[in-house]
């Protein structure tokens, strides 16, 4: 359930969001987007949790793989629908993972 990422450095995209209520179709889209992301070059792993807010962290080999995923055409459609239908607000932070520890 926790992502088994390689030795740093690599990149993390921290996506935090508040959903509209209702957010019909959101879960199906999220499942589909995760499947698509897993097939992208440079994808390293994914962790997600939601209660009052949602936090999804995807891990990537480098910035080029993040940008390619951002520009994926099916992902673009989901991003647009996210803004019009699903998200009340969100933040995306792109960060370079420099060190980690596992227990």
Phi, psi of 67 (to 5 degrees): -70, -35
Q: Look-up: residue for tokens 């997600």?
A: 48
Residue 64 in the binding site for its own copies (CB under 8 A) = no
Residue 27 in the binding site for its own copies (CB under 8 A) = no
Distance of CA 47 to the CA centre of its chain: 8
Question: Where in 67-86 is the site for its own copies (CB under 8 A)?
Answer: 83
Minimal distance, residue 67 CB to its own copies, in Å: 11
Minimal distance, residue 65 CB to its own copies, in Å: 15
Closer to its own copies at the Cβ: 16 or 72? Answer: 16
Which listed residue (34, 61, 72, 90) binds its own copies by CB under 8 A?
Answer: 90
Identify the DSSP state of 20.
-
Residue 60 in the binding site for its own copies (CB under 8 A) = no
Which listed residue (29, 40, 47, 78) binds its own copies by CB under 8 A?
Answer: 47
The sheet carrying 10-19 orders its strands as 10-19, 54-60, 43-50
Q: By CB under 8 A, how many residues form the interface with its own copies? A: 37
Phi, psi of 54 (to 5 degrees): -110, 140
Identify the DSSP state of 23.
-
């Amino acid at each position: 359930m926790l992502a088994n990422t390689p030795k740093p450095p690599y990149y993390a995209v921290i996506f935090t969001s508040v959903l509209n209520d209702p957010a019909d179709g959101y879960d199906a889209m999220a499942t589909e987007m995760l499947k698509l992301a897993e097939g992208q070059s440079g994808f390293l792993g994914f962790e997600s949790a939601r209660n009052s807010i949602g936090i999804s962290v995807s891990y990537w080999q480098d910035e080029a793989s993040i940008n390619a995923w951002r520009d994926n055409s099916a992902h673009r459609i989901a991003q647009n629908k996210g803004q019009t239908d699903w998200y009340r607000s969100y933040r995306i932070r792109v960060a370079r993972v420099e060190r980690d520890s596992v227990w």
